[in-house]
Amino acid sequence: MGRRIRVAVIEDSATVRRHLVEVLSSDPEIEVVGEAADGREGVALCARARPDVVTMDMMLPVMNGLEATEQIMAHWPTPILIVSASTNRGELFRTYEAMAAGAVDVLEKPRGDESDDDWTVRFLATIKMVSRIRVITHLRGRLASRAALRLPASIVQSRRPCLLAAIGASTGGPGAVVAVLRALPEEFQLPILLVLHIGAPFGASFAEWLDTQIGRQVRLAEDGMPLNAVGARVMMAPPDRHLILRGGRLHLTTDPERHSCRPSVDVLFESVAHEIGAASAACLLTGMGRDGAAGMLAIRKAGGLTIAQDEATSVVYGMPREAVLLGGAELVLPLPEIGPTLASYAGTPHISRER
C-alpha cells in the first residue's frame, strides 16, 4: 500500500470529532494525524503536522472556522473539507465565506440515524477526492487588476450585441464565481444565468449569501420567468433542478442527470446556444469532471464568446481543461481577467470595485 492520506480533524464537539476519527481510521488508505477542538488549535495543528486534508467545522470556539480557514490558506495552504450542520443561517453564510477563502468542498454532518451508512461512503470518497486537489495560497482581498482590459479586435468584430452571460462552476466554484461577479461594473446590465455544483443542503441559501457579496441581485431561478424580466440580476439554478432557456423564458426541469449532475452546466449552455447563440457569452470556471465542456463548444459554434478559467488559478483544472481540449474555449484566462473581459465584450467599461 502506498502513502496514506494524512487528515487533521477540527471539530469542537467531542462526540462528532470521535465519530469522524473513527470513520476515517476505518479506511486503510487514511491516517488521522491530529485533532483540534477550536480554530486556533486547528491552525497550530496544520502548521505542525502539515496534513494532506483538513476537515473543518464552522462553529468553533476561540477562532471560528472561517478565521481558521483564512489563516490556513494564507500560510499553510491545505485542501479543506468543511463538515457542517448546515441548519443555521449564520453557519451557512460562514461556510460560503470559507469556500470563497479557499476551502474546496462542503459536506453535511452525520445525522446519527440509518442515513449515516450512505454518509460514511460519501465522506470517505470526498476526503480522497479532496486530497488530490492542489491548492494555492489564498489571500483575501486579492481581486481583479484595476487596469481596463480590451478584447482583441478579432473577437469584437462581426459579433452580435451580447444579450446574456452564462456561468458554470463546480469544485472551488464559490470563490471563483464571487471573483468574476465582483469584477463586473455597475454598467454591466445583462442577465446572468449561473449553475454551481453544490450539495443540496447548502445550495438553497447560497444565492442569498451571494446576493450580499457582489453588488447586484442574486435569486434562485423561477420556472417560467421571462428572460426580459431578469434585468441585470443573477439567476441561479436551484438544487436538483436543471436550468434551461427556452422560448424566451427560464425553465426548471428534473430531466436525467448529465455527468452525474443536476443542475448541469452542459444543459444550461446547450439551451443558451440554441436560444441566444451568437448573442451570448459563457464562462466555465474551476471544477472536477467534464460538465460544461460540450455546452461551451455548442455556444462557440453558435458564435458566442466562450471563456475558460486557466489552470494556474483553478482549484481543480477539470471542467475548463475539458472545454479547452474539446475546442470549446475561445479564450483561456486567469480568474482576475474573466470579469473585466466579460464587461469589455458587453461594451461596458471595467471599473474594479474593491470589497
Active-site residues: which are they? 170, 197, 291
Cα–Cα distance, 332 to 321 (Å, whole number): 9
- Please say whether the beta carbons of 17 and 9 come within 8 A: yes
For residue 15, the tally of other CB atoms under 10 A from its CB is 9
Nearest in space to 194 (alpha carbons), one of 245, 232, 253, 243: 243
With cell 461594451, the residue in question is 347
What end-to-end distance do the CA atoms of the chain give, in Å? 47
Which DSSP letter does residue 28 get?
T
User: Coil, strand, or helix at residue 345?
Assistant: helix
62-69 contact pairs (CB < 8 A, 24+)? 62/38, 63/38, 63/39, 64/39, 64/94, 65/10, 65/39, 65/94, 65/95, 65/98, 66/94, 66/97, 66/98, 66/101, 67/39, 68/10, 68/39, 68/40, 68/42, 68/43, 69/98, 69/101, 69/102, 69/103
Cα–Cα distance, 335 to 144 (Å, whole number): 8
